[in-house]
Structure 1
Amino acid sequence: MALIVVDVMPKAEILDPQGKAVTRALARLGHGAVGDVRVGKRFELQVDGPVTDALLAQVREVADEVLANTVIEDVVGVHVVQDAEAAQQGPAL
């Protein structure tokens, strides 16, 4: 079983009030070295069977048509995580 991850971010020219709020909160907490934060979305699609180029193209199409509001957002990444269990544990910090 594999996991395909789709990352969606606001377009650069779109204001990101949630990102600005996080930036200000980090500064208040003493993390002033962080200059800017943008908040996006991560979608995890679990698939059975092999991940082929055709399947990835289909996922990219779904991402552009359903997962992202392409007026204000860009799909910035579509990648495969082979081990679905490791992906569910989240990234190591």
Structure 2
Amino acid sequence: MKATVTVMLKNGVLDPQGEAVRRALGSLGFEGVEGVRQGKVIELDLGLADRSAAEAEVRQMCEKLLANTVIESYRIEIA
């Protein structure tokens, strides 16, 4: 089973990397970009067969390590 975790800064948290990308895109001629938020995607190969158990385990991973839940939110997809 594969899990994909997408971690993004919460709304209202400044994103200096996203702002740097927005400015760089503007300097390359892409003037229509008004905002950029940058995050990370983590793919996990799991040895679990039960979908709900896999999601619960990945949620614990996010809460303990993969996301700083004070400033980041995360989304889990199980496939």
Q: Which residue of 2 is the match for residue 74 of structure 1?
A: 73
Residue deviations 1:11-66 (CA, integer Å, cap 9, x gap): 11111000000000011111112211011111111113424112211211211221
TM alignment of 1:77-88, pairs within 5 A: 77-81=75-79
Q: Which residue of 2 is the match for residue 53 of structure 1?
A: 52
TM-score between the two structures when normalised by the length of structure 1? 0.76
Give yes or no for contact 2:8–2:40 (8 Å, CA) kept in 1.
yes
Q: Which residue of 1 is the match for residue 5 of structure 2?
A: 6
Q: Which residue of 2 is the match for residue 41 of structure 1?
A: 40
Aligned length: 79
- Aligned-pair RMSD on alpha carbons? 1.4
Q: Which residue of 2 is the match for residue 91 of structure 1?
A: none
Distance 1:59 1:74 in 2: 14
Q: Which residue of 1 is the match for residue 14 of structure 2?
A: 15
| Secondary structure, counterpart of 2:44 in structure 1 | strand
TM-score between the two structures when normalised by the length of structure 2? 0.88
